[in-house]
Structures are given as C-alpha cells and as structure tokens.
Amino acid sequence: MKAQASDIIAKAQHSLQDLEGTRWPADELVRYLNEAQRVLLLARPQENAVSVTFGPVVGARQALPDDAMVPLEVRCNTDGRMRALTRVDRYVLESVARDWASETPRDVVVHYMFSPLEPRVFYLYPPPSELCRVELTYCRYPDDVPVPSAPTADAVTGETTLDKKWEAPLLAYVLYRAWLKDAEAAGNAQLAAGYMAAFTAVVNPPQAG
C-alpha cells in the first residue's frame, strides 16, 4: 500500500496548526513532499527499483534510461543461457586488459561497471553487439504528487510512489522544510533541525559497530 499524499499533508497542517493553509498552503507542502520522495530514494534506491530488458548500444559505454535515478545492477543476459553478470571495478579490468573497450563486440557480456564520476553511465564487458540484451535494475524517479488548486489538505489527490511504511519520515521532511521557511523566528530553526534528525534517523540510520 502506498502512502496517501492527502494523509501526509493533513497531518502536516495539523502539526503546524494551520488547517486552513494560511501560512503553509497545501501546494507548498506538496512540493516539499515531492522533494522528500527524491531525497529518501537517494538513500534507499531499492524502494523504487524496477528491472527492464535493456538493449545496449554497440560499444562499452552505455547511458541509463531517462527515468533512471540511481543504477543498481545489471543482473544477467536475457537470451540463451541467461548468463549472470558480475560487477567489477574499471581499474581492475584495465590492469589486465588495457584495451578492453576496443575489443570485438559480443552478443553475451560478463561484467558491468558503475562509476560515481559518471552517475548516468555504465560500462559493459566485453563491449556488446546489437544483438545483446541484458536485465538492468535501477531506481526510477518517483512520480510527483499533483499540486492541489486549493490551500487545504482535502484538495490533495493521489498517492506517493513510496510504501506506507515511509509515511512518518516523509511527514518529518515536510515539517522540516515548513519550519525552515521561518527559520529566523525564535525556535523555528531548532524545530526544523529536529524534524530533519527524525527523517535521517529512519532513512539513513547509523551503522552498528
């Protein structure tokens, strides 16, 4: 079940004591909610993962689909024996095969590489031919909640891309952004920091040990 946008905005306006949306209208809070989804998925990309059959261009360098936010893995070839791929670091491959990118294109690939320096690009080895097909898994950009035309929560429609279990951190992020709006007022910056801490504690908790 997806988290309902109207529930989150209603809870936000109740917490802000602004049920009529005078200071924080629903359209503003919905923009914060859409921002919250994208921020959360940067930390938890698996929460909106999709797997597709990807037809590479000929050559080692491949571009992610337009709707891809974060690459996750290239699982296997999709034809024949569906041979699995393994992820390797480019410097490891280049240490034993410096000319690997210019090798003859093949119908079946065995390795894939991601690089933080090129977040929308990945590489396949050996370079794929036009007949190659692989299963690509990535985090898709979340669908935006429609911006409402009235200032109250009952005008909000639609659901978030994320499961209902993420409703609390999404709400915390919305309240963080709302209080940040008046951060110069006494206590508001502290409230904003508290909500951001609550969001971070759930979405990206500290590692044990």
CA distance 91 to 113: 10
135 SS3 class:
strand
Is residue 111 a contact partner of residue 96, using CB atoms and an 8 Å limit? no
> What is residue 206's predicted lDDT score, i.e. its pLDDT?
73
CA distance 124 to 103: 11
Is residue 139 a contact partner of residue 41, using CB atoms and an 8 Å limit? yes
Please determine, for residue 186, whether its predicted confidence score (pLDDT) is greater than 80: no
Closest CA to 74 of 58, 66, 62: 62
The tens digit of pLDDT for each residue in 18-41 reads: 999 999 999 999 999 999 999 999
Q: Structure tokens of 38?
A: 């994208």
CA distance 184 to 165: 33
The tens digit of pLDDT for each residue in 43-85 reads: 999 999 999 999 999 999 999 999 999 999 999 999 999 999 9
Conformation bin of residue 111: beta by default, left when phi > 0, alpha when psi is -120 to 50? beta
Is residue 199 a contact partner of residue 35, using CB atoms and an 8 Å limit? no
CA distance 85 to 8: 41
CA distance 209 to 194: 24
CA distance 135 to 74: 6
CA distance 165 to 148: 24
> What is residue 208's predicted lDDT score, i.e. its pLDDT?
54
> What is residue 205's predicted lDDT score, i.e. its pLDDT?
81
> What is residue 14's predicted lDDT score, i.e. its pLDDT?
98
> What is residue 115's predicted lDDT score, i.e. its pLDDT?
87
Q: How confident is the model at residue 209 (pLDDT cuts 50, 70, 90)?
A: low
> What is residue 157's predicted lDDT score, i.e. its pLDDT?
97
